Amino acid sequence: MDKSLSSEKKYLASVITKIDNMEQEFENTSADIKNQIAEMRRRMWDDQMHGDYNAHDLFELTQITMTESAEVNRYYDFKKRLKMLEKMRASPYFARLDFIEEGSKEEESIYIGYLSLIDGADVLVCDWRADISSMYYDSPLGKTFYKTQYGDINVDLTLRRQFKIKNSKLEFMFDSDIAIDDSVLQEELGKTADLKLKTIITTIQKEQNAIIRDLSGDLLLVQGVAGSGKTSIALHRLAYLLYKHRNSLNSGNIIIFSPNGVFSSYIADVLPELGEDKVVQTDFYDFFDRLLFPETAEDKLKKQKEAELEGEDDDENGASERYKVDYVPTQDDMFFRNLTEQNEAVRKYPDRFASIKLKGSEEFSSFLEKYLEDHISNASFHDVKFIGEVVLSEKKLRKAFYEDFKGYSSEIRKNKILGKTLDFIENEGGFKERKLAEFVSKFRKQAANAAQQFSEDEINEEKLRFWAANIARLTEEINGMFSVDATDLYFNALREYAPEEYEKTVATRKTGHLNFEDMLCIVYISLLTGKIPQQFKMNQVVVDEAQDYPPIIYKILAKLCYGARFTILGDVNQALTPHLDSIAQIEKYIPAKNVRVFNLKKSYRSTVEINNFINQFKKDPIDAEYLDRHGDEPEFVKTGDLSRSIADKLTELRKRGLFSNAVICRNEER
């Protein structure tokens, strides 16, 4: 047997043994923790059965509860680590690098896998996300370097070895000068498709790795041709960031915006396979709907039915009070949620597409900003009185709104003015005491005239009611002076900007419905006014299929996720509703200090034969490179019985072991 092969098999066996030992250790520890949790819960149950608690008992119970919670978290952490060890056992690593660090004569070796495996001071397997592992993806043999937070480390890379390990057995290995050998890439790409997106850590390409490991960009914009791996890159980038920023980033402050729920399900397993927790995944429809109207769908329908029973009528502008507390999507909206199905929608709903394009445009969102600004500039002010006395003059009110708090949204300005006014009323020397004394004096006189008597406690209760009622009146007055109804303002702006579209939208609104693009505009106005606070605490935001979203969505994200870092990926050549000339255009809508733009031109999705077949139908050739991967030529089939021909073909494919097949139709009917 070749010495290298024998040595590698021996090393693999030692790693498997270490994993087995760790699994046993973790199993024992998790079992002990589980028993401890059961014992703590038994003690808490026994204490509750007795029912008599003194201060010491309550303190002890609190301590037990806190300890139990910590132990539960510890238990689940061990179970998660066990699951990853099981995955590692099947294939602990996929590559080996040998190198000599500059200034040293000693050759070192590292093995690269999904996760690190450490035995005391020895690193048996190095995480693919570690700085040193980047050489596997980026560097040819010879003089090279890898980046760290402390600077570049120069090395002489002497060996790159790739492994195929399956079910803990070394199937083959080979040495290669280039980062990812084409034979490995072709084998991975040639595997039968699965229902879920898989990890690509064994075949990440150099240009993909640059995006995954980029730490400098606040806004990463990726234009990538179909099949360039954009979605996989985004998910592996998140795994890398979670590894790199372990102390400041967690799965709870990451969100992925996907085209639809099916797509979210398709990508859901990638992060867990890489050893990370799942992150929030949603589509924009659900996200904005919940942002505006957090109640359940059942609550919404119930409110609508109640409103209909009460016989509410629309006003002259078609504005229904129902809408202000309710949002019910149109039937078409349920279709429009799936942006990947817009091909058919173009044919069926041309008016809706015109509506989406207009209302989602940069021009209309800018018009909304100006319209709101003019509305606020023309606000009417008057003296604010409290129990008959001016507490805030019109002049001071105007100064506070337009000068003192100028940099804030109208909602925050209003709240600051209200806060200062209430502070004056409550704390200005003697004001509150004087007003309450006047009330008590007047109250006693009225009681005496009516031959009524009240105790001091009853008088104090009346004082509290009197004061609270006047505070409520003052609050309502100031709120009314500055409040902006986002829905009304949107409709007024639309009437001025596009009268014909306004009439169509009013007609829809009279049915108790509004469309998705209308909701976007209302969300945007609500953000501008401060009705929706700009406090959505997310550190990392990922948007996939970016070409299908209008500019207003990016403006909303910029305000809602202020301070977050964005990774936005798309392909304008695949846009079903063109909103953008390029993915780089998004930079206009999301201000950022450091913007990084990447262009992925290489497609790994199809064979040469399929790409050649497709290209003959394109009007404008797409600037793309294709992997030299070959397969069967596409066939043109003439048949008298299309359904029978398709059924026969599917049967043939299944007999060949190909069970993941698709039949693409022109529309729902055929």
- 568 or 640, higher pLDDT: 568
Q: What is the pLDDT of residues 545-564, one digit of tens each?
A: 999 999 999 999 999 998 89
pLDDT mean over 255-279:
84
Pairing type for strands 219-224 and 565-570 reads parallel
Please state the φ and ψ torsions of residue 368, each to the nearest 5 degrees.
-60, -40
How much is the pLDDT for 211? 96
How much is the pLDDT for 147? 93
The type of residue at 265 is: S
- 449 or 55, higher pLDDT: 449
Alpha helix positions (H), 278-341: 284-292, 297-309, 321-325, 331-336
For 59, the enclosing helix (H) or strand (E) is helix 55-90
Is there a contact between 408 and 376 (Cβ–Cβ < 8 Å)? no
Is there a contact between 571 and 594 (Cβ–Cβ < 8 Å)? no
Residue 75: helix, strand or coil by DSSP? helix
Alpha helix positions (H), 320-427: 321-325, 331-336, 342-348, 350-359, 362-377, 394-399, 410-427
Q: What is the pLDDT of residues 241-259, one digit of tens each?
A: 999 998 899 998 999 998 8
Please state the φ and ψ torsions of residue 621, each to the nearest 5 degrees.
-65, 140
How much is the pLDDT for 376? 84
For 74, the enclosing helix (H) or strand (E) is helix 55-90
Q: Does position 178 have pLDDT exceeding 70, yes or no?
A: no
What's the Rg (C-alpha) of the chain?
33
Per-residue pLDDT band for 669 (boundaries 50, 70, 90) equals: low
Considering only CA atoms, which of 480, 501, 559, 493 is closest in space to residue 521? 493
Is there a contact between 311 and 303 (Cβ–Cβ < 8 Å)? no
How much is the pLDDT for 181? 55
Is there a contact between 91 and 165 (Cβ–Cβ < 8 Å)? yes
Widest Cα–Cα separation across the chain: 115
Is there a contact between 461 and 439 (Cβ–Cβ < 8 Å)? no
Per-residue pLDDT band for 31 (boundaries 50, 70, 90) equals: confident
Report how far apart, in Å, the C-alpha atoms of 317 and of each of 359, 485, 504, 506, 519 are: 19, 14, 12, 7, 18
- 604 or 577, higher pLDDT: 604
Strands (E) across 211-265 are located at 219-224, 254-257
* Residue 155: both structure tokens together: 């090395």
Residue 153: helix, strand or coil by DSSP? strand
Report how far apart, in Å, the C-alpha atoms of 607 and of each of 188, 271, 464, 628, 631 are: 13, 28, 79, 7, 6
Q: Does position 122 have pLDDT exceeding 70, yes or no?
A: yes
| Cα separation, 473 vs 479, whole angstroms | 10
How much is the pLDDT for 514? 83
Per-residue pLDDT band for 620 (boundaries 50, 70, 90) equals: confident
How much is the pLDDT for 142? 94
Residue 660: helix, strand or coil by DSSP? coil
Considering only CA atoms, which of 417, 357, 401, 389 is closest in space to residue 578? 357
Q: What is the mean pLDDT of the chain?
A: 83
- If you search the block for the tokens 């890489």, which residue do you land on? 274
Q: What is the pLDDT of residues 321-359, one digit of tens each?
A: 333 333 444 444 544 444 444 445 555 667 788 898 999
- 262 or 433, higher pLDDT: 433
Alpha helix positions (H), 483-550: 486-497, 499-509, 516-529
Helix (H), strand (E), coil (C) string for 536-569: CCCCEEEECCHHHCCHHHHHHHHHHCCCCEEEEE
Angle (deg, nearest 10), helices 551-560 and 362-377? 50
* Residue 192: both structure tokens together: 């039968």
Q: Does position 280 have pLDDT exceeding 70, yes or no?
A: yes
How much is the pLDDT for 335? 41
Strands (E) across 135-247 are located at 142-148, 151-166, 169-175, 219-224
Q: What is the pLDDT of residues 363-401, one digit of tens each?
A: 999 999 999 988 888 877 888 888 888 888 888 888 888
How much is the pLDDT for 604? 86
* Cα dihedral 89/93/94/98 (nearest 10): -150
- 476 or 541, higher pLDDT: 541
Region of poorest pLDDT, from 141-155, 178-192, 405-419, 622-636: 178-192
How much is the pLDDT for 26? 87
Q: What is the pLDDT of residues 530-540, one digit of tens each?
A: 888 766 778 99
| Cα separation, 298 vs 296, whole angstroms | 5
Is there a contact between 225 and 605 (Cβ–Cβ < 8 Å)? no
Q: If you count DSSP H runs as helices and E runs as strands, how many of each does the chain have, helices first?
A: 25, 17
| Cα separation, 89 vs 96, whole angstroms | 17
pTM (2 d.p.):
0.78
To the nearest whole percent, how much of the chain has pLDDT over 70? 85
pLDDT mean over 303-324:
45
How much is the pLDDT for 573? 87
How much is the pLDDT for 522? 93
| Cα separation, 319 vs 488, whole angstroms | 8
Q: Does position 413 have pLDDT exceeding 80, yes or no?
A: yes
* Residue 64: both structure tokens together: 């037990």
Is there a contact between 414 and 479 (Cβ–Cβ < 8 Å)? yes
* Residue 573: both structure tokens together: 């050549």
Buried b (16+ CB within 10 A) or exposed e, 41-54: eeeeeebeeeeeee
To the nearest whole percent, how much of the chain has pLDDT over 90? 37
